[in-house]
Structures are given as C-alpha cells and as structure tokens.
Amino acid sequence: MKKHCLISMAGIALIPAILLSCQSFEPPAPKAPTPALVERISRAPWAEPRHYEDLPENERFRQIREDLAFDAWVAQKARAEGIELDPREREQISLWSSQVEYAAVRNALAARLEVTEQEIQDESQERGWTAPLPERWEVSHLFVDRSLAETESEREQLHQRALWLREQLTPENFRELARLWSDAPTSDEGGNLRAIQLKNVDPALAAQIRSTTPGTISGPHETASGWNLLYVRSHRPAAPRDFTPEQLREMTAQVIADAQARQARGSPESWQSLLSEVSAAEKSLMEQERTALENFLLARQYIYRQASQEAPAEEQLQAIYTERQEQFTYPPSRNAREILVSSEDWTLDRSEEGWRKRRAVRERAREIRQRILDGEDFAALAGRYSASRTASSGGELGWIQEPSHPQIDTALAALQPSQVSPPIATNKGYLLLQLLEVRPRAPRPFEETRAQCESVWRARQLKQVEEELRERFLKEAFPRDSMQ
C-alpha cells in the first residue's frame, strides 16, 4: 500500500519519539465515501500532495477512499482532545469554499444556457479555438555585420570570419561563439531568437530558416548587410485543433456563464439567487468536500502533536549527518578577476541607436580579450581599462562561492583555470572574467548542519506517526475487506 507524508515539515516544533496517546478513545468507523466524492477529491487542489494522478484508476479510487476515511478517523481523535483549526487554516477553508461555490454557480449557469451558433463562432474566433496551432521554430542566430566595413579588404576579412565561424560552430558551442562574435543584439543571449513564427521575421531570414534541417547549423547566408549563421534547434509544424462541435458549445457556454457569474458576484442578492439554482446533489458534494478538508487539516494537527513529545537524541542527529554527508557540503568556490568595459554614453535602451552604442563597447571588450589571449597581462589591462572599482587591484574579485550571480556562476563554471570568458552583458557594460583557481566542494561541520539534520529527523518522525496510525486504522476501523 502506498503511504504518504502529506504536509511540509518546516517550522514544526521539536519532534520526538512516537506516543500514540489516545488508546482509550476509539471513534466509530466513518462511512465509506461515495464514488462522486472520491472523484471530486481526486481533483481537489488541497489533496494534491498525495499525488493521486500517479496511480492507476482502480488504485486511485481505493487510495482516496482510504485517505478520506483515515482523515475522518484521526480528526475525530483530534476533536476529542479539543484540537481546533487555527485562523490560518480557517481562512484556507473559507477561500477554498468561495472558489468551489463560484465554480458551482458558473457550471449551473452554463448548463442552462442555450448558446447560438453566432456566439460559438464569435468566441471561437476571438479565442482562436478553431485556428490551427501555429508552427514554431526554435532558432539561434549569429550575424557577421559588414555594414561598417569601409574597404573591400575589410569586407573580405569579415567574410573570412563568417567562413571560419561556420567551421568552428557546433550545437554545443553555438551559444558561446554567438556571445563572442555575433554583431546582432541577440548576442547577449547567445544568439537565441526563442520560439518564432516565420511570418513575423524578414522573408529572406525565413527562407534561410526553412532551408535548414532542424538540429543542424547552416550558413553563412549572405544578406544585404552581412552573413547569417543559423542553428535551428527544433521545428513544430502547424497542427489542427481537435475540438468537436459539442466541445465548442460547452466552452462557449462556460465563457458566457463566467462573465455572468462575475457580474452577479457584485450583488449579494443576485449571488444568492444564483446559488439557489445549484442542485442539491452539488451542494451536498460541496459540503462533504468541505468536511473532508477540515478533517485533513485536523488530522495533520493531531499527527504533529503525537510526534512532538521529545527532542531528537544527539546520536540520532549524528547518524543523519553521516548518512547525508554528501549533501552537507560547501559549494565550489572560484577565485577570479574581472574587467568591466563600459563608456560614458552606456545605455540599456532597446533602440537601434542604443544597440550601436553597446556594440561599440562590446567590440572593445572583445579586443581586450584577444589581447589577453595573445599574452598581455590581465591585471595590467584591468588597471588600464576596467570601469569597475576592482581596477586598482588588477580586477581581483577574490573567492566567489556559489550561488552568487547567475551570469557569473554560469560563466566561471564553463572556464578552466587561466581561461577568459567571452564578453558578458551586464547593466553597466560588458564583463570579462578570468578564472584563477577552483576549490571543490568541502564538507560542512556538523554544528552548521544541525538544523537540517533536525528537519530530516522531524520529517521521519511525522511519517512514522502517520504510518503507525494508519496501520491501526486499517486493522481496527477500516479493514481492507471493506475496500473491495
């Protein structure tokens, strides 16, 4: 039988050895839940921690019935001890009840609506229900710009660069090389054009993308201002939607009913009038589910109290520390230095002029990087060109421990000692990073992990309490034969 520990264990007070203290109180077995309630609970947001969707249908039905009856059984024990829901839990129930009530009214309205063909057509057109799913292309783009070249010799050098890049590019390194060499604004994101529809891009570029087999790189494709190199990561063709006429009718009714329900909610009289139209069966299910949620929350409180009699022993925490030592470590740290290349007219403006100014800064960053690769001293160049306050110390950043800044962590993780990153776009300019040394993961001392060890111990105690309670429940109040 699948057992579950259902609620987050964080923040629970000290939790102890298990004491099932209500031996003298044995409430009667609750009535088995109906199939309609079981189906309703399977979709309830508050029941999601139990992951019913992972179970086969027959096992799901059995498990929900068992859980509902178990919660009711434990909740009776909680009430006998005077345990009550706290204000936060009552607010949770109130909010959930309001949402379910609204859904019931909307569904009741939708069921009585007689929508017209014109209404179906209007809603389908507005919401795109009958339009085919558009095709999507996932594309990365590297552009070599020749528009600023003044001589034929400069233009030929750029052409040779495009040819050289094509030889170097692979799906694995496309992002890095695009960041370093692309002259398009998308270079800051590794050339990623994201998911695009070809009707929204330049026709020449669209034709180049269509001619590229998904999963491959093509180019250089000549354009009026340079050359495109393309990596088509994937392609999803256009596909029809499969809504039947009856489904479209139901969807239209739901949309219209939702608008009517929202309007009626502004008037207490109108809302009560609509509530009166909800069927008695639906109201009964709503009330049963509310009771199920109350039982669920009370049962959790009871289990917490049963598991909170003692603090964990020192040797128990030490055992958890030993067991999970691989998780209790300091993350890698890296010693690095930086050069921040910027300008007096630096801007984040998304206009063409803004990109022109950023591109000029990026070109200087790329030139500085090449000088470092050609043998010049990083620290000396940092002192001369860096706009960062670390310039006076040769760009020294010291030891950086993950997590710091996502861009910096990602860039340094891709480097080997002494390597220099491509220019990294920041809100102040372009950053060059050089990795100097790496410290691998190191174990953390026990005292630093005591709280985490206690959390693990508490979670296990709660699970053990629930399992022992469930074992008693199945034996005494809900034998398996009753679930057949």
Low-confidence winner among 61-75, 398-412, 461-475 (lowest mean pLDDT): 398-412
The predicted pLDDT at position 53 comes to 76
pLDDT, tens only, 95-143: 999 999 999 999 999 998 999 999 999 999 999 898 888 889 999 999 9
Residue 24 has pLDDT above 50, yes or no: no
**Rounded CA Rg of the chain:** 32
The predicted pLDDT at position 349 comes to 83
Domain ranges of the chain: 1-128+243-312+452-484, 136-236, 329-442
DSSP 162-180: HHHHHHH--TTTHHHHHHH
Residue 105: C-alpha distances to residues 96, 130, 239, 445, 451 (Å): 14, 27, 35, 58, 47
Q: Which amino acid is at 62?
A: R
DSSP 105-153: HHHHHHHH----HHHHHHHHHHHTSSSPBPPEEEEEEEEEE-TT--SHH
User: Which tokens belong to 47?
Assistant: 């029941």
The predicted pLDDT at position 8 comes to 35
Percent of the chain with pLDDT over 90: 51
CA atoms of 157 and 175, how far apart (whole Å): 23
What CATH class does 329-442 carry?
A: alpha beta
The predicted pLDDT at position 480 comes to 57
Band the pLDDT of 408: cuts 50, 70, 90.
confident
Band the pLDDT of 29: cuts 50, 70, 90.
very low
Q: What is the mean pLDDT of residues 463-467?
A: 92
Q: What is the mean pLDDT of residues 373-401?
A: 92
Low-confidence winner among 166-175, 348-357, 463-472 (lowest mean pLDDT): 348-357
CB 331 within 8 A of CB 403: yes
Residue 19 has pLDDT above 70, yes or no: no
Q: What is the mean pLDDT of residues 382-404?
A: 89
**Span 136-236 CATH architecture:** Roll (3.10)
Band the pLDDT of 32: cuts 50, 70, 90.
low
pLDDT, tens only, 276-333: 888 888 899 899 999 999 999 999 999 998 888 788 999 999 999 899 888 888 888 8
pLDDT, tens only, 330-377: 888 899 999 999 998 888 887 888 888 888 899 899 999 999 999 999
The predicted pLDDT at position 28 comes to 45
CB 294 within 8 A of CB 125: no
The predicted pLDDT at position 31 comes to 55
CA angle 13, 16, 22 (to 5 degrees): 100
Going by C-alpha positions, the residue among 431, 383, 387 that lies closest to residue 410 is: 431
Q: What number of H helices and E strands is found in the chain? A: 15, 10
Residue 22 has pLDDT above 60, yes or no: no
Q: What is the mean pLDDT of residues 267-279?
A: 89
Answering whether pTM is above 0.85, one says: no
- Equal CATH topology for 136-236 and 329-442: yes
Question: In the predicted model, what is the mean pLDDT of the chain?
Answer: 86
Ranked by mean pLDDT, the top range of 39-53, 214-228, 317-331 is 214-228
User: Which tokens belong to 207?
Assistant: 């034709």
Residue 3 has pLDDT above 50, yes or no: no
